[in-house]
Structure 1
Amino acid sequence: MDAPVRRSRASKPKVRTGCLTCKARRIKCDEGKPECKRCKIGGRKCDGYLPAQEGMLAIVPKQLIGVPAVTLPGESRALEFFFHRSAPLLAGFFEGAFWNGSVLQLSLAEPAIRQAIAAIGSVHEEQGLKRLEDSNVSSAGPQTAVQLYNRAIRLVIARANVDPNAIPAVTMASILFTCFEFLRGNAPAAASHITSGVRLLQEWRDKTGTQPVGPWGQSHKSFESQFMETELAPILSLFNLNTCEFGPGQRSRVILNAVDEHGFLVLADKFEDLREARVALVDLVTSTSVLFSNMDESVGKGQLPDTNLVTVFSGMRNNLDRWKANFENLVDRKGATWDKAQRSAADNIRIMWCSTEIGIISYTVGTETAWDAHRDSFEQTLRLSESLISDTDRYPDDLSKTLSLDLGLIFPLHAVAWKCRWPRLRRRGLDLLLRSPKREWLLEAERYHALFTRVMEFEESALSVPFIDTPDADEEDFLPPEHARIHDFYCQPLPNTTSRTGNKYTLHAVTFETKPDGPHGEPRYHTECIRMPTTTSQIVGKGDQGDVEVIAPLTNLLSIKQWAKPELTDMQTASLLKGVVFGLD
């Protein structure tokens, strides 16, 4: 019998000239022009094509290509760890094209980028091993990470000094350096790199005349400008916002959508994809934060808002309402076609919106029990958080929860654990804090869990009968009274109280503020020591012996600006200003 003829599949060269959208989605493109049919059929915006013979190498100055690499011991291992574990983690829901694509491509040509990502992989593995207490696996070590990091910085500085065209590559390096410092807990250094990246973005816009003139996502004059505005700028914007709000960052801000002559954001009439909606929301929160800071400055000088500022605040509220309507319209139009990853990304945006609403509510409530009117917001926050945290594809193990730079769960969950009186909802919020990514930016979920567990215990101690979660327990019978509620807290780590064996714990002196005589009565204070887990210390500077590390105090993430506090202005002024901003009587 003749042997069966083995058929071979026809071999065709791999096409690498598809549109940018299909490349990001890693699917075959039909290469239709000016936009491909695959994008049209899927209802997606086709981002067009790269110029011939160009790609990520277009942003690399010619003298950077081919620079010989100097490999340190452990660098290869750190690179492998970065691409398999760190990049997917840092990409989050929206920045896969950058972390899984552009960074890889540029690292093949630019040693500084390669060494920066190796430094991230090395320090990430080290942090993960410390958390998991896995003594059987060794990483490249912190010394290698710092060597790689310092070498990358020196290379980038040298190139920036001799080549003005290296702005995109140097901006990418600023983002990588920021992530390295976030992982190390070095708040000042992270803020400095973000400030540098924002300055480079503005310098690029000024140099090329590419200031935003319309809604984000517009066409760009060159691949470099498209790369700067669609890949780098959204990351810088989110980094900058979170560092300014929850850390020691500078107050310079970056806006991706255009701003009209009245100071209003120019948003699209309708969103075409989730990333566009997310960028718009980050812009809105950023611009609102700037307005609130300006208001604080005016009130500090004894000035009430002028007519122009009233108009600007009115426009801010209108833009928030418009964003919500546009997002709901996007979900109605395209939600049925989304895959699991896109549905999760939409939930992430909803969590961001919940956080925005919670931030606004914190200005409008007059008493702690007034939060009761927002139970629906608490329940939605818990429902969305549960869905995101339970995704085993995204979080297959504890290492995948080492750090999140876009999830944003600590803020809304800590609000549920603190401000919600319903015992079952509070306990769900505390449980989700423990199950969420352990760190976001410079915030540690486990520490907030420890603090607000104690807040709940303190408030519920005023009940005549302790709450026991049984099927027949009526939550209405176990709501802490107003006089027992914690209005504010002040937290300070105690020196020389950190455990050095196993998990690290530090004693914190926490002062709780209550108002037993009513919301306008004199506050009373009670201080106690609380043992909190501390997985990372925070580097605050340099000393004679090297890095100076401290345990950063927990901060009140719901702290409102001075202009809205009656005790810092007066009742009439605070009411007037909140009426201007939020339309309250």
Structure 2
Amino acid sequence: MERPFPEPELSHPKKPRASKPKVKSGCHTCKSRRVKCDETKPNCLRCANFGRRCGGYASKEDTPPKEPVPTTKRRLLSKATAVEYTPEPSPSLDARFALLSSNPSPAQYIPSIPPGITFEDEAELQYLCHFRDVTSIELSGGFSPTMWNTVILQACDSPEIRRLTIATAAMSMAASSTPQPGMHWNTTPEYHRQYAFQKYGEALKAIQQKIVRSCSDSVKTAMISALLIFCFESFQGDVSPTMMHIQSALEVIVKKLSSEPHAYQFPIGFLGSQGNDPIDRELLMAFMRIDRPSLSLLCRQKGQTPRPAGRIFSLIFPQEPFEIPNTFLAIEEARIYLDDIRWRMFPGADAPESMSALWQNDEGEDLSPDIGAVPWHVQKWYQSYETPVDCAIISQRLALWHDAFSPLLNFAMTPAGDSMFIPAATIHIQALTTDLVLTGFFPPSFTNHRSSSFSNFHSSPFDKPEPITHVVSGSLSVPPSVPSRGRSSSHSSPQPTQENMRLFPTVHAILDFSRRLVAHPRFSKGFVFDIGIISSLSVVVMLCPDRGLRREAVEVLKEMRPRREGVWDSRVCAEAGEKSIVKEESEMELIDPSLR
């Protein structure tokens, strides 16, 4: 039987198109038509076979080479320290600074109470919240309060640290004349004082027992306890009992760091707990900054030379100085770089032998802290170690530091950067004072060639001889009620001449910045832990050769009374300065009354 329809032929699968690598060297015509070019030069045969005009080939001039990817500039923080590299800042520094200033200020940022902290009653919770929200801001003096409202707050899971922190908060409330709203109990200063003493006594007894037992965290307990005891006693106005606590804690830290198998050095900008570090870095930096010659001199015992100063710095900072970047992007970064410069002014930690005559015959005397004499002793300590080469090198690094800091300082002096003004002005004054200690008052050869750093950097408003009272509007300017140059004594000197400004430009910059700082509405006139500007003004008061400028520095110290910064008291320093000036004028009057 025949089939009605023939069978269809078997269909074979279609062969896939051959895959060949694409090339970019064909003629323009073939490229536009998306066909393969045989790349015959000067005209391809495919275009000729199809009767088309060949568009030719691209030349090297028509196809510029790809732009090389720019290499990111890196800055080494120290040749001796391996650190994470960070790119250089973008050109828009003001935008970055504005972003920093728009972030919550230290006073606005309120960390939560860490879990695991238990309270005996509601009062303890209230006082701890006050320490976190108010006391920590006061103690930080305008700088970051992280150590106070984070590191110490986290340590409050220990009952003895919690009681000591609460006692410090209660004593700060007792010392404050400002009423504390929102408290549901008796808020009289006497109530806070009695509560503070109760918790203080309980804490000291528990801390002593814990340290005797040599617990694993006894070093951290000793460090935090020493800081809080120092603050507690300082809020009462008596720092004498606290000196040995701080000095004992320093000995514990030095012993702990010295026992580490490897050098305990860390790159700057990396604070806080870092893995298995033996000591929290925020605490280390706090003790490093208070481990100064002034503390050693005030802790000196009868018949003995002062204990070494600056040992913590030598243990945690590398041997080679940090390489200063072109621009600082944050206050804390600039501050640590300045620490690196200032502490390298000490080739040795011990007091120089030339100072031994100051305390050889004091065994029978009542040796109490004499802060009025400290500036003289500190200056002698510094000068005994200086060499011209060291001065030149450190002065050069200071000039680089100020060039890197000037954009941040200039921004802080605008209304947009007002939240950064207090810490920026403070470390600027400290840098200027470092220059005074290095160069004296003042070698003309040094002040003549200074161009773009320190008091004469390019955008500083203090280049001009006129008092600055209108450079910036708002809280940065000196209010009309605060005289730009306070001269209340009967021996007031005339307004500074151009010659006086030329001879003492750095002193004038220190005084002008200090006036504006003290007049700032957020400047605290109570106790702050961090060293600010009192020691800088004391250097001017005790050592500047121009008596008129010394009187001005005394007036600034009077304006900030009763402010205290660590071991420095504005009232004591002002009184010591006045006595020094009166004594000097009396001696000169005996020689020639016209010299007064």
- Structure 2 residue matching 1:164: 3-state secondary structure: coil
Q: Spell out the pairing of 1:199-218 with structure 2 (5 A cutoff).
A: 199-209=251-261, 211-213=263-265, 215-217=267-269
User: Does residue 100 of structure 1 match 2:149?
Assistant: yes
Distance (whole Å) between structure 1 residues aligned to residue 329 and residue 518 of structure 2: 27
Structure 2: state its 5+ residue gaps: 1-83, 101-110, 181-185, 301-305, 359-383, 445-495
Assess, with a 3 A threshold, how the Cα gap between structure 1 residues 232 and 137 changes in structure 2: closer, same or farther: same
Shift of 1:163: 1.9
User: Does residue 234 of structure 1 match 2:285?
Assistant: yes
Q: Which residue of 2 is the match for residue 501 of structure 1?
A: none
Of residues 207, 215, 222, the one that matches 1:163 is: 215
User: Does residue 175 of structure 1 match 2:231?
Assistant: no
Is the 1:241–1:286 contact (alpha carbons within 8 Å) kept by the matching residues of 2?
A: no
Distance (whole Å) between structure 2 residues aligned to residue 88 and residue 336 of structure 1: 23
Of residues 196, 202, 212, the one that matches 1:151 is: 202
Distance (whole Å) between structure 1 residues aligned to residue 269 and residue 564 of structure 2: 30
Distance (whole Å) between structure 2 residues aligned to residue 36 and residue 283 of structure 1: 20
Q: Which residue of 1 is the match for residue 535 of structure 2?
A: 411
AA in 2 matched with 1:189: P
Q: Spell out the pairing of 1:453-472 with structure 2 (5 A cutoff).
A: 458=582
Assess, with a 3 A threshold, how the Cα gap between structure 1 residues 390 and 96 changes in structure 2: closer, same or farther: same
Q: Which residue of 2 is the match for residue 296 of structure 1?
A: 353
Shift of 1:235: 0.9
Shift of 1:432: 5.3
User: Does residue 128 of structure 1 match 2:176?
Assistant: yes
User: Does residue 348 of structure 1 match 2:404?
Assistant: no
Shift of 1:118: 1.5
Q: Which residue of 1 is the match for residue 165 of structure 2?
A: 117
AA in 1 matched with 2:285: P
- Structure 2 residue matching 1:430: 3-state secondary structure: helix
User: Does residue 387 of structure 1 match 2:516?
Assistant: yes
Cα displacement string for residues 468-522 of structure 1 (whole angstroms, at most 9, x for unaligned residues): xxxxxxxxxxxxxxxxx828xxxxxxxxxxxxxxxxxxxxxxxx7659659xxxx
Is the 1:402–1:438 contact (alpha carbons within 8 Å) kept by the matching residues of 2?
A: yes
Q: Which residue of 2 is the match for residue 83 of structure 1?
A: 132
Q: Which residue of 2 is the match for residue 576 of structure 1?
A: none
Shift of 1:300: 6.6
Assess, with a 3 A threshold, how the Cα gap between structure 1 residues 276 and 415 changes in structure 2: closer, same or farther: same
Assess, with a 3 A threshold, how the Cα gap between structure 1 residues 344 and 402 changes in structure 2: closer, same or farther: closer
Shift of 1:97: 1.1
Distance (whole Å) between structure 1 residues aligned to residue 501 and residue 405 of structure 2: 31
Distance (whole Å) between structure 2 residues aligned to residue 259 and residue 269 of structure 1: 21
Distance (whole Å) between structure 2 residues aligned to residue 258 and residue 215 of structure 1: 14
Is the 1:123–1:180 contact (alpha carbons within 8 Å) kept by the matching residues of 2?
A: yes
AA in 2 matched with 1:103: I
Shift of 1:177: 1.8
Distance (whole Å) between structure 1 residues aligned to residue 560 and residue 357 of structure 2: 41
Shift of 1:83: 3.2
Is the 2:174–2:188 contact (alpha carbons within 8 Å) kept by the matching residues of 1?
A: no
Q: Spell out the pairing of 1:309-388 with structure 2 (5 A cutoff).
A: 314-315=389-390, 317-332=392-407, 336=411, 339-360=417-438, 374-388=503-517
Assess, with a 3 A threshold, how the Cα gap between structure 1 residues 208 and 100 changes in structure 2: closer, same or farther: same
Of residues 304, 307, 329, the one that matches 1:251 is: 307
- Structure 2 residue matching 1:401: 3-state secondary structure: coil
Distance (whole Å) between structure 1 residues aligned to residue 531 and residue 313 of structure 2: 22
Distance (whole Å) between structure 2 residues aligned to residue 255 and residue 317 of structure 1: 24
AA in 2 matched with 1:391: H
Is the 2:164–2:228 contact (alpha carbons within 8 Å) kept by the matching residues of 1?
A: yes
Q: Which residue of 2 is the match for residue 465 of structure 1?
A: none
Q: Which residue of 1 is the match for residue 565 of structure 2?
A: 440
Is the 1:240–1:253 contact (alpha carbons within 8 Å) kept by the matching residues of 2?
A: yes
- Structure 2 residue matching 1:351: 3-state secondary structure: helix
Assess, with a 3 A threshold, how the Cα gap between structure 1 residues 190 and 277 changes in structure 2: closer, same or farther: farther
Is the 2:230–2:243 contact (alpha carbons within 8 Å) kept by the matching residues of 1?
A: yes
Cα displacement string for residues 231-290 of structure 1 (whole angstroms, at most 9, x for unaligned residues): 1111112222274267336523345666799x9653234366432432343454445356
Of residues 321, 325, 334, the one that matches 1:277 is: 334
Distance (whole Å) between structure 2 residues aligned to residue 150 and residue 197 of structure 1: 19
Alpha carbon RMSD of aligned pairs, Å? 5.1
AA in 2 matched with 1:87: S
Distance (whole Å) between structure 2 residues aligned to residue 201 and residue 233 of structure 1: 8
Distance (whole Å) between structure 2 residues aligned to residue 311 and residue 422 of structure 1: 26
Distance (whole Å) between structure 1 residues aligned to residue 296 and residue 148 of structure 2: 24
Shift of 1:121: 1.7
Q: Which residue of 1 is the match for residue 475 of structure 2?
A: none
Distance (whole Å) between structure 1 residues aligned to residue 263 and residue 194 of structure 2: 41
Distance (whole Å) between structure 2 residues aligned to residue 117 and residue 70 of structure 1: 14
Assess, with a 3 A threshold, how the Cα gap between structure 1 residues 443 and 390 changes in structure 2: closer, same or farther: same
Assess, with a 3 A threshold, how the Cα gap between structure 1 residues 119 and 290 changes in structure 2: closer, same or farther: farther
The structure with more radius of gyration:
2
Is the 1:378–1:416 contact (alpha carbons within 8 Å) kept by the matching residues of 2?
A: yes
Shift of 1:453: 5.2
User: Does residue 193 of structure 1 match 2:242?
Assistant: no
Assess, with a 3 A threshold, how the Cα gap between structure 1 residues 178 and 450 changes in structure 2: closer, same or farther: closer
Is the 1:75–1:118 contact (alpha carbons within 8 Å) kept by the matching residues of 2?
A: yes
Distance (whole Å) between structure 1 residues aligned to residue 230 and residue 550 of structure 2: 36
Is the 2:511–2:552 contact (alpha carbons within 8 Å) kept by the matching residues of 1?
A: no
Cα displacement string for residues 60-83 of structure 1 (whole angstroms, at most 9, x for unaligned residues): 9xxxx9686556x96455434433
User: Does residue 267 of structure 1 match 2:322?
Assistant: yes
Is the 2:309–2:350 contact (alpha carbons within 8 Å) kept by the matching residues of 1?
A: no
Cα displacement string for residues 285-323 of structure 1 (whole angstroms, at most 9, x for unaligned residues): 44535649543359879xxxxxxx989773465134313
Assess, with a 3 A threshold, how the Cα gap between structure 1 residues 315 and 95 changes in structure 2: closer, same or farther: same
Structure 1: state its 5+ residue gaps: 1-33, 46-55, 302-308, 459-484, 488-511, 519-585
Shift of 1:225: 2.3
- Structure 2 residue matching 1:252: 3-state secondary structure: coil
Distance (whole Å) between structure 2 residues aligned to residue 246 and residue 437 of structure 1: 23
Distance (whole Å) between structure 1 residues aligned to residue 222 and residue 135 of structure 2: 21
Shifted more, 141-150 versus 212-221: the winner is 212-221
Assess, with a 3 A threshold, how the Cα gap between structure 1 residues 158 and 433 changes in structure 2: closer, same or farther: same
Of residues 117, 120, 138, the one that matches 2:189 is: 138
Q: TM-score, normalised by structure 1?
A: 0.55
How many residue pairs end up in the alignment?
400
Distance (whole Å) between structure 2 residues aligned to residue 416 and residue 310 of structure 1: 20
Q: TM-score, normalised by structure 2?
A: 0.54
Distance (whole Å) between structure 2 residues aligned to residue 298 and residue 432 of structure 1: 28
AA in 2 matched with 1:202: V
